Amino acid sequence: MNGVVKTHQPVIVVHGGAWKIPDHMITDSEQGAKLAALEGYKVLKSGGSCIDAVVKAVSSLEDNPAFDAGRGSVLNEAGGVEMHALVMRGDTCDVGGVLCIQHARNPVQVARIILDESPHCLLAGEAGLKMARKHNLPEENIDYFITDHVKEELKNFDKYTQAVDGLFNTNTGHDTVGAVALDCHGNLACATSTGGITAQQVGRVSDSPIVGSGGYADNESVAVSTTGHGESIMKVNLAKTIACYVEAGLAPKEATAKALKKMNSRVGGSGGAISVDTRGRVGVHFTTERMTWAKIGGSDVNGVVGKFVEFGCDATNVKKESV
């Protein structure tokens, strides 16, 4: 038989961050998530790999100033931008991550190059930028990343502790982006990217590039991308905890909710996560007031292949449009 047998219905889920998204930002946030999901789904629909799909989706989110990743990344205490990203593939458990990188237009693409080309899992700062330049990835002046919105955030939150509360409990601030996908070959992948938290110390590393915290993918369990207070996420290894619950028999939906509940009860942290397993079952859950998300593909409860993009910010207000 010629060609590759396709046995799975592709699925992609993206998120634009879990926090108290103000009403005036909902439309831009939802449309950005929807567009990113559509970009990733085009890759899957053409028979492309899940890793290509999540990188494509997250690159779209990084290019959108409505989100705290790539363009629109928040400012650290010195008024600079330091970005982080992670990609992981579930068939081999190979990982690529970049920490505290500057100038790279799409940190998630740098993470992908590290996954493919480096013997190391994580590279920081100049080492990551050197890898990006070696492979001619797009680079931007610092002014490209800084928006009026993030300048205002730094004025409002001149201390990291104030920003932590503000990011997740007030109308100011925005957060991590990510994507998870299942491709037609039955493989899983995740990608997560962030600019961190406003007024963070120079050199602070968020949960996003850390395997098992900001993301995790294993064909034997699930693909996960997380969002929320990074220190809390790292303390409980949120992404890996979700994977362990799936391995123990929970569906992604229940596993994601249970892990976020555990994080809140153990360390008082709030956030959100998206997940998908090799059966195409999806988990979307958050303990903040809102989290932007979008999903395309898979089958509904009646086994009908999805032909819609579902998206929203609120737990009870899910929108649906034809693909």
Give the residue numbers annotated as catalytic, written as ranges.
176
Tokens representing residue 89 in the block: 């593939």
Residue 258's CB is within 10 A of a number of other CB atoms, namely 16
Strands (E), the chain: 11-19, 83-89, 95-101, 122-124, 177-182, 188-194, 215-217, 223-228, 271-276, 282-286, 290-297, 308-312, 319-322
273 contacts: CB under 8 Å, gap ≥ 6: 15, 224, 225, 226, 227, 238, 239, 242, 256, 259, 260, 283, 285, 286
* Cα distance between residue 273 and residue 104, in whole Å: 26
DSSP secondary structure letter of residue 194: E
CB neighbours (10 Å) of residue 24?
Answer: 8
Specify the residue for token string 């996960």.
Answer: 224
Instruction: Say if CB 190 and CB 224 are below 8 A apart.
Output: yes
Tell me, what DSSP letter sits at residue 11? E
Binding site for substrate: residue ranges?
204-207, 227-230
The tokens of 235 are what?
A: 């303390």
The span from the CA of 265 to the CA of 25, in Å, is 30
